[in-house]
Amino acid sequence: MERYLIKFSKKDSAKYISHLDTMRTLHRAVRRAQLPIYYSKGFNPHASISIASPLSLGIESSCEYADIEFESFLEKNYILNSLNAVLPEGIKIIDVLHVKEKMKPSMALVEGAKYIVKLKYDEDIEAAKSTVNLILNAETIEIIKKSKSGEKLENIRPFIKDIVIKKYEENNLELEFLLSCGSRGNLSPNAVVELLYKKSDGRIYDHPEIKRDELYCIKNNKWIDLLSYFKGK
Amino acid sequence: MIYIADKILSSVTKPARYTGGEVNQVVKDLKDVNVRFAMCFPDVYEVGMSHLGIKILYHKINEREDCYCERAFAPWSDMENLMRKNGIPLFSLETKTPLKEFNFVGFTLQYEMSYTNVINMLDLSGIPLMSKDRKMEDPFVIFGGPCVYNPEPLSDIADFFVLGEAEEVIDEILDIYIKWKQSKKSREEFLLEAASVEGVYVPSFYDIEYNYDGTIKKRIALKGNIPDVIRKRYIKDLNESYFPEKIIVPLTEIVHDRIMLETFRGCTRGCRFCQAGMIYRPVREKKTDKLMEIAEKLLKNTGYEEISLTSLSICDYSDIKNLVHSLVEKYEKERVSLSLPSLRIDSFSVDLINEIQKVRKTGLTFAPEAGTQRMRDIINKGVTEEDLIKSVKSAFESGWSTIKLYFMIGLPFETLEDVEGIAALGQKVVDTYFSIPKEKRNKGLNITLSTSSFVPKPFTPFQWEAQDSMKSLTEKQQYLKEKIKSRYITYNWHENPISFLEAVFSRGDRRLTKVLIKAWEKGCKFDGWQEFFKFESWMEAFKECNVDPEFYALRKRELDEILPWDFIDIGVNKEYLKNELKKAQEGKLTKDCRISCTGCGITQFSKEGNCFNGAIFNKVQ
């Protein structure tokens, strides 16, 4: 059994493939490519593919990661090319890494994510900056979180690591969000977009165009992208 | 091409229903094609994409270089609202082209309760609902599928219907269309040409005269040179017929998310309630080696992990044991699972399913259809209580503990004893379970009894019979509920108003088109979905159109009445159906045609009308 980390992108209409359907789509692609996927033993065997971090519907990504195990060693380019030949439009394998050492599943390592968010805004850039600062300077930001057991207030401020205005041209505002991601704390970029709408009194507006740009884990107290982490840099 | 904003797609449920772009979707350059065909299924994506017929036709049409077939489904209500609000017409998934720009808009009609969705989809496309209102630039709206064996309720909407297996006809239609397009003649000229193709029915070329009592007096042909009788078309040699090697793999989970391997068409059992058993005659099989070949290609091209062997009654496939063995042997290592969706009630079937599901014992489903032997004989379901008890005993001993049993209530000549018989049979199944020593059976007994309410269908021996009233059906359901004592039994039943409407439209005539449109105007759509079904609106529509639904659903027809679908020839003759009805009344059985020919007429219907084409005779069980 050999473990690999694959990095892939989800673009255009593929952003509307849900997390579970993405798993199914990858699994079927592996079968079409006739790669020797490893199946768990036991009563109800399942293919050993797991995605590092679920991506919300409607968000593009250039940095999805999945752990995948094969029965035997395969050349990384062979995996990359044979999968790309059979994947649907919009999903593309960018990189493959053979994980030789015993490491935790990627899912357990992910700590944060970077998102590029495009919104509309018509006014002075300084006002946008102060809206962002309103969020960053707040000690607590409570939002109502809905779950199966009901609604409860949650402080999401600790999950917002940074918000940076990257570009402002015409009325297009481009921001970068650094947010907690993973089992120890997770915040959807859509929740931050909602905050921006609210704190700017609607001056920041329109349906956001969101792209996940990187996934991070922590090494020596620093955020490091998943692929580099696995490469051991 | 239509652009659908992210804002819209992000705010609807399951947006992957509307994006297209699946693996094996056919992509063509529009410059290279002469005919554009929109294959439509009048239900939501997950349902439509689960249907084998449109997959076959989609790929078959796309085999032609001069044609491009694309797909369209009914948008779910959230998407429909946003489309209407933003002025987006219904579009094809492949190229996002408005349906109005296609040359053909073809619908498959699988169930009557999808008719309002057809109207809604035409309206969303901006295509005139009535065929008489369509102009030169509008598409031809055509229909196929089992419901068109009584096409009349949609006769004002359809430009034409295709009767029978469309794979056999579609090329002829497309060829005629291409010639006509070059000739620049009128729409009517094309329809006249199309009407000369066997299996094509152009309703606007006929008129109906009615008697005072509302029954049909006669059909009048309005044009010369058009057939009085429309003969169904069917594939003569199924083994050699077209079957796609690549099928579309959806990006969102659909209802039947697996390979459907079609083993044979037709059925020899002759159950008297069953329309499929009559209209799909003669029985034609694909050979095992052919099926193995198709399975291999489909597995490779789709990545699916499951194959479902489809047909009307899979255990009747003449080479079933060999087929199942071969598939299991070849694909066990690759973890391909097999499913048999229609189990016969006998130990042979249970042995077969045991072989397939060695580890995971999910539920088993049997369909005794009726609760007493008397009733099962009336409907010619050649199954005895002993067969069922033996089968479930063998299933329990093999480790199954969840069993579903399907029944019908409201069958012709039914008495309360027959209804009670369903409960009694359920109890006997429970008793059978407990008669097996504890160590030989699995825990967690769970028996589900499910009843649907009988809907008389055209081209069956019961086509003349009245449907049971909703009141009576409700009483029977209540009665049955009271008779079920065991806590191991769950009872499910169908909603009677839906069955009532099904009965109206399955045996309806031309006067129902206006009711359909009226009901749709009142907001009726997705009538097969409980959350959308508006029975009161339907009843208002009937009232406002001055049409009595009970005339269609609850009236027993005289044997000499002209029925709305009498002009269609399915190959099984009317005398045979009458005789079967008589035998039903007398409780007499008709044997399986494999034992000896029962003379239904199909062998005389066509010169090549060869029953059991492809079947291996010495293996017929």
Residue A151: its pLDDT value, please?
A: 87
Q: What are phi and psi of B439, to 5 degrees?
A: -75, -10
* Residue B620 in this model has a pLDDT that exceeds 60: no
3-state SS of B503-528 is HHHHCCCHHHHHHHHHHHHCCCCCCC
Q: What is the rounded average pLDDT of the residues B450-472? A: 98
Flag whether pLDDT at B608 surpasses 70: no
Cβ contact, residue pair B360, A24, below 8 Å = no
Q: Is the model's pLDDT at B618 over the cut of 70?
A: no
Confidence of residue B177 (pLDDT cuts 50, 70, 90): very high
Residue B256 near residue B50, CB atoms below 8 Å: yes
Q: CA dist B532 to A153, B254, B523, Å?
A: 35, 20, 9
Instruction: Answer yes or no: is pLDDT of B609 > 70.
Output: no
Q: Do A115 and A59 fall into the same domain?
A: no
Q: Is residue B36 classed as helix, strand or coil in its secondary structure? A: strand
Best CA proximity match to A53, nearest among A115, A146, A116, A119: A115
Measured CA to CA, the distance from residue B297 to residue A28 in angstroms comes to: 14
User: A87, A102, A117 — which closes off a domain?
Assistant: A102
Q: How far apart are CA B260 and CA B309, in angstroms?
A: 6
What pLDDT, on the 0 to 100 scale, is given for residue B350?
A: 83
Q: Please report the sign of the dihedral spanned by the C-alpha atoms of residue B376, residue B458, residue B608, residue B322.
A: negative
DSSP class of residue B380 equals T
**Same domain for A122 and A145:** yes
pLDDT at B348: 82
Q: Are residues A120 and A184 in the same domain?
A: yes
Task: Looking at the structure, tell me whether residues A74 and A43 fall in a common domain.
Answer: yes
Q: Are residues A120 and A48 in the same domain?
A: no
- Percent of chain A whose predicted confidence (pLDDT) is above 70: 100
Q: Which domains does chain B have, with CATH numbers?
A: 6-231 (3.40.50.280), 239-342+601-621 (3.30.750.210)
Confidence label for A45 from pLDDT (cuts 50, 70 and 90): confident
Contact pairs from chain A to chain B, CB under 8 Å: 70
**Cross-strand pairs, B284:** B265, B613
Contact yes or no for B21 and A89 at CB 8 A: yes
Residue B551 has pLDDT above 80, yes or no: yes
**Alpha carbon of A19: minimum distance to chain B alpha carbons (Å):** 10
Interval A190-208: pLDDT, tens? 999 999 999 999 999 999 9
> Could you tell me if A176 and A205 lie in one domain?
yes
In this prediction, residues B195-200 reach a mean pLDDT of 97
Does the bond joining B250 to the residue before it have cis omega, within 30 degrees of 0? no
Q: How far is CA B119 from the centre of its chain?
A: 19
Residues in chain B: 621
Mutate to test the interface with B, among A23, A31, A205 (most CBs of B within 10 A): A31
Q: Kindly list the residues from chain A whose CB atom is less than 8 angstroms away from the CB atom of residue B299.
A: 31
Query: What is the C-alpha to C-alpha distance for residues B533 and B117, in angstroms, rounded to an integer?
Result: 12
Pairing between strand A142-147 and A150-155?
A: antiparallel
Average pLDDT of span A7-17: 96
The residue type of B513 is T
Cβ distance B399 to B610 under 8 Å? Answer: no
CB-based burial label for B152 (10 Å; 0-12, 13-18, 19+): buried
Q: Classify residue B65 as exposed, middle or buried by CB count within 10 Å of its CB (0-12, 13-18, 19+).
A: exposed
Question: Cβ B15–A89 below 8 Å, yes or no?
Answer: no
Mark whether A194 and A120 lie in a shared domain: yes
Q: Which amino acid is at B237?
A: D
| Averaged pLDDT for residues B6-19 | 96
- Cβ B74 vs Cβ B43: under 8 Å: yes
Q: What is the CATH number of the domain that holds A119?
A: 3.30.70.3190
Question: CB B21 to CB A28 under 8 A?
Answer: no
Partner residue opposite A32 with nearest CB, options B20, B303, B335: B303
pLDDT tens string B103-129 = 999 999 999 999 999 999 999 999 999
With beta carbons under 8 A apart, name residues in chain B contacting A14: 21, 251
Q: What is the 3-state secondary structure (H, E, C) of B546-590?
A: CCCHHHHHCCCCCCCCECCCCCEECCCCHHHHHHHHHHHHCCCCC
pLDDT tops 70 at residue B621 = no
Residue A73: predicted pLDDT: 97
Nearest to B301 among A14, A25, A32 (CB): A32
Tell me what the mean pLDDT of segment B522-544 comes to.
Answer: 96
- What pLDDT shows up at residue B353? 86
The tokens 């359809």 sit on which residue?
Answer: B158
Q: How confident is the model at residue B616 (pLDDT cuts 50, 70, 90)?
A: confident
Alpha carbon B92 to its chain's center? 23
User: Taking 70 as the threshold, does the pLDDT of residue B67 lie above it?
Assistant: yes
Q: Which of A102, A117, A137 finishes a domain?
A: A102
Residue B565 CB-density burial (10 A; 0-12 exposed, 13-18 middle, 19+ buried): buried
Go through B468-494 and write b for each residue having 16 or more CB atoms within 10 A of its CB, e for each that does not: bebebbeebbeebeebbeeebbebebb
Does residue B522 register a pLDDT over 70?
A: yes
Clarify whether residues A69 and A126 are in a common domain: no
Dist CA B547 CA B606 (whole Å): 39
Whole-angstrom Cα distance, residue A62 to residue B555? 64
pLDDT score, position B619: 53
- Contact criterion met (CB below 8 Å) for A106 and A90: no
pLDDT tens-digit map of A71-100: 999 999 999 999 999 999 999 999 999 999
CA of B265, closest CA in chain A: separation in Å?
A: 29
Is pLDDT above 90 for B369? yes
Higher per-residue confidence, A207 vs B611: A207
Query: Which residue, A84, A102, A120, sits at the end of a domain?
Result: A102
Structural element, H or E, at residue B478:
helix B470-483
Q: Whose CA is closest to B300, among A176, A174, A122, A35?
A: A35
pLDDT at res. B344: 86
- Residue B498 CB partners (closer than 8 Å, separation 6+): B113, B527, B528, B533
Of A21, A39, A44, the CB nearest to B16: A21
> What are the CA-CA distances from residue B376 to residues B124, B373, B481, B484, B587 (Å)?
46, 5, 21, 20, 9
Considering the domain architecture, whether residues A118 and A17 belong to the same structural domain is answered as: no
Query: Which candidate from A31, A90, A207 shows the least CB-CB separation from B305?
Result: A31
Poorest-confidence range of A24-28, A152-156, B55-59, B483-487? A152-156
pLDDT, chain B, mean = 94
d(CA B268, CA B613): 13
- Which residue does chain B place closest to A24, by CA atoms? B251
- Rounded to an integer, the average pLDDT of A40-49 is 85
Mean confidence (pLDDT) of chain A: 94
Closest CA in chain B for residue A30: B303
| DSSP bridge partners of A176 | A116, A164
> How many residues appear in chain A?
233
Provide the CATH number for the domain around residue A78: 3.30.70.580
* Minimal-distance CA residue of chain B relative to A208: B7
- Residues A93 and A115 both lie in one domain: no
* Domain encompassing residue A29: 2-102
Alpha carbon distance A115, A180 (integer Å): 11
Q: Under a CB-based contact definition with an 8 Å cutoff, are residues B127 and B134 in contact?
A: yes
- Mean pLDDT over B231-258 rounds to 95
Per-residue pLDDT tens digits for B470-520: 999 999 999 999 999 999 999 999 999 999 999 999 999 999 999 999 999
The helix (run of H) or strand (run of E) holding residue B38 is strand B35-41
How high is the pLDDT of residue B88?
A: 97
Give the model's confidence band at B555: pLDDT under 50 very low, under 70 low, under 90 confident, else very high.
Answer: very high
B296 in contact with A, Cβ within 8 Å: no
**Which of B15, B251, B360 minimises the CB distance to A25?**
B251
Look at residue B166 and tell me whether its pLDDT is greater than 90: yes
Looking at the structure, tell me whether residues A114 and A224 fall in a common domain: yes
What's the DSSP call for residue B594? T
Distant-in-sequence, close-in-space partners of B499: CB < 8 Å, separation ≥ 6: B410, B452, B453, B454, B455, B467, B473
Residues from A contacting B (CB-CB < 8 Å) are 12-14, 16-18, 20-21, 24-25, 27-32, 34, 39, 43-45, 57-58, 86-90, 206-207, 209
Please report residues of A whose CB lies closer than 8 A to that of B251: 14, 16-17, 21, 25, 88
Same domain flag for A119 and A211: yes
Asked whether the beta carbons of B67 and B174 are under 8 A apart, the reply is yes
A143 burial type by CB count under 10 A (0-12 exposed, 13-18 middle, 19+ buried): middle
Strand B160-162 versus strand B140-144 pairing type: parallel
B542-552 CB burial, b ≥16 within 10 A, e <16? beebebebebb
Domain count, chain A: 2
pLDDT at B358: 67
Q: Is the minimum CB–CB distance between B26 and chain A shorter than 8 Å?
A: no
CB contact under 8 A, A86 and B303: yes
